[in-house]
Amino acid sequence: MRRIVMILAASAITLGAGAQSTSEGVKLYNYHKFKSAQAALTPLAEKDALANYYLGLSYLESGDAVTANTTFLKFPEDPANISGTARVAFVNKDAAKGMQIAKGLAAKGKKKDWVQEKYAADAITYTDGGDYQQAIAWYTDALTKTDDADIHIGLGDVYRKTSGGGGNAMNNYEHVTEKDAKNSLAFTRIGDLWYEAHNYPSALDNYAKAKDADATNPLPYKELANAYTRSGRYQQALENIKKYIDLSDNTASDKLEYLRALYRAQSSCDAAKYAQDLLNGGTLNNENKTEAMGILGYSQADCGDSVQALKNLRSYFGMQDPKKIMSGDYIQLGRLFLKLDMLDSAGFYYTKGISGDTARNKTDVYRTIADAFKAKKDYCKSADWYDNLVKANPETQAGDYAWRAIMFYYCKDLNKAMAASNEFFAKYPTQPSAPYWQARTAAAIDSEATTGGAVPYYIKWLDVVGPNYEKKNDLKAAYEYLMYYYYNKKDKENVKMYIEKVRTVDPANKAASEIEAADKVPAVKPAPAKPKK
């Protein structure tokens, strides 16, 4: 180990300012600023094996495994670069080759050497397909020879990939922060652990420590944004993603994260403009183009440009894999058709969205559609949607029960209106409008006031609201029905009483005068025709 330290010290003296630049390049890589890392490391990689290694990693993380492998092969005897070739093998799904290279590298270490084990373990930890327990064994052995912070972080990272390894991971990360309160990377990892455990307050606390430890580290701002998003604090998420964008390489992927944050924070007009700029820029891959097109359409809808929104959402639905179209997409499209007064299309997409979402509480969606059809005076469809609402959520509010009955009434489906009114009264017997709509519906069914079907309901309702009820036309309708019914029953006493009641709300009531006049004629004549409502 003394020999390794001396070699590193000698390298630092030889490289001078270059060593500092290599360190900066490594830092850029660790902070996922891969393009910046490539720019910083390229001029150093010709002579500096470590710079070359991190340059290769930057290519690998950017998705260019071919260039990464070519880069690593420039230093075929260097442990770090040998580790890089193992990573390439794992990325290329050749786990057997990757493990062979890693084991060969680890075996090269002398009794007190730890660098070879560390890099061999790194190759497994930061790819998929290797033997994680072997990586743990190599890191653990290396820690008997050095207390290197990177090894603790690597050990923590591989523990996170194993079942039940979160506690060991936390121990290693906290070991680093206890010794170095400025290790922003370790605080970020602790925040990640809490985030994965859905403990968002602790995640937020550690991400804040990470950014305080190094204000140039973009990662905590990104993770802070994720944590705020998961806890529904979208404005705070947007504020942090803006800071992340300022510090990151601002890649196409970074820009897409910013677009998502704008959309979630309901900055709809800004999101629409940003999405259009991204689509015009030509830097997105096909999958990201599809997502950006969807956000563009939905944001335009919320920003008020419904015509363009519909055009772009049609493009989005055409581009998107049908398996990836969620029920919420159909519901939002239905909402857009509502705005455009295309009610049949709205109903179609709402139904499609709702039928595909077994988890959603559909009450608000049903009410939105029902209210829209009601506003357009399409009472039958409105009634159907209120009926869906009540059936899906029998504990819904009294107003939903009332509007279901009312819409069936105006749809002239009196049997359904009566059934809905009865259910309304059974569920909310203290609501005055419940017996009122029972009475109105029963009176419409008994349009000639001969059966008295509405009598018990009107009596019940009048007992609740009293003679001073502010809606005088409703009182008049009740009094008139009762007046006609008792006239047909030849119950003069009640006829007289309800004629008087009618005149308390309508002194010049024509129907009351006609019944009085007919009642004075000796021969029994039928009552005047009841005015149509």
- Tens of pLDDT along the chain (533 residues) come to 333 333 333 333 233 344 458 999 999 999 999 999 999 999 999 999 999 999 999 999 999 999 999 999 999 999 999 999 999 999 999 999 999 999 999 999 988 999 999 999 999 999 999 999 999 999 999 999 999 999 999 999 999 999 999 999 999 999 999 999 999 999 999 999 999 998 888 998 999 999 899 999 999 999 889 888 877 889 999 999 999 999 999 998 899 999 999 999 999 999 999 999 999 998 888 989 999 999 999 999 889 898 999 999 999 999 999 888 887 788 788 878 877 888 888 888 888 887 776 656 678 878 888 888 898 899 999 999 999 999 989 999 999 999 999 999 999 999 999 999 999 999 999 999 999 999 999 999 999 999 999 999 999 999 999 999 999 999 999 999 999 999 999 999 999 999 999 999 999 999 999 998 887 755 444 556 665 55
Domain holding 508, by residue range, is: 432-533
Residue 179, in any domain of the structure: no
pLDDT at 376: 83
Rounded Cα gap, residues 114 and 151, in angstroms: 10
Residue 196, in any domain of the structure: no
What total number of domains does the chain contain? Answer: 1
Rounded Cα gap, residues 80 and 62, in angstroms: 19
Number of Cβ within 10 Å of residue 391's Cβ equals 11
Task: Check: CB of residue 254 under 8 Å from CB of residue 288.
Answer: no
pLDDT at 97: 97
Phi and psi dihedrals of 147, rounded to 5?
Answer: -110, 45
Rounded Cα gap, residues 464 and 156, in angstroms: 71
Rounded Cα gap, residues 510 and 476, in angstroms: 12
- Tell me the chain's radius of gyration from C-alpha atoms: 38
- 255: buried, middle or exposed (CB in 10 Å: 19+, 13-18, 0-12)? buried
CB proximity list for 331: less than 8 A, separation 6 or greater: 349, 350, 353, 354, 357, 365
Pick from 78, 118, 120: which is nearest to 101 by CA? 120
pLDDT at 348: 86
For residue 489, what is the domain's CATH number?
A: 1.25.40.10
pLDDT at 360: 60
pTM beyond 0.85: the answer is no
Helix axis angle, 252-264 to 234-247, nearest 10°: 160
C-alpha angle 225/228/230, rounded to 5°?
A: 110
Residue 531 DSSP symbol: P
Residue 446, in any domain of the structure: yes
Alpha-carbon 362 to chain mean position: 16
CB proximity list for 101: less than 8 A, separation 6 or greater: 82, 83, 85, 86, 89, 123
Rounded Cα gap, residues 195 and 210, in angstroms: 14
Residue 493, in any domain of the structure: yes
Task: Check: CB of residue 182 under 8 Å from CB of residue 173.
Answer: no
Residue 301, in any domain of the structure: no
Residue 26, in any domain of the structure: no
pLDDT at 526: 56
Tell me how long the chain is.
533
Residue 472, in any domain of the structure: yes
CB proximity list for 365: less than 8 A, separation 6 or greater: 331, 350, 353, 354
C-alpha angle 64/66/68, rounded to 5°?
A: 70
Pick from 348, 294, 283: which is nearest to 318 by CA? 294
- Maximum Cα interatomic distance, the chain, rounded to a whole number of Å: 131
Long-range Cβ contact pairs of 287-296 (< 8 A, separation 24 or more): 288/252, 288/253, 288/256, 289/319, 290/316, 290/319, 290/320, 291/256, 292/256, 292/259, 293/319, 294/320, 294/329, 295/259, 295/260, 295/263, 295/271, 296/271, 296/272
Number of Cβ within 10 Å of residue 409's Cβ equals 21
pLDDT at 524: 43
Residue 44, in any domain of the structure: no
Residue 397 DSSP symbol: -
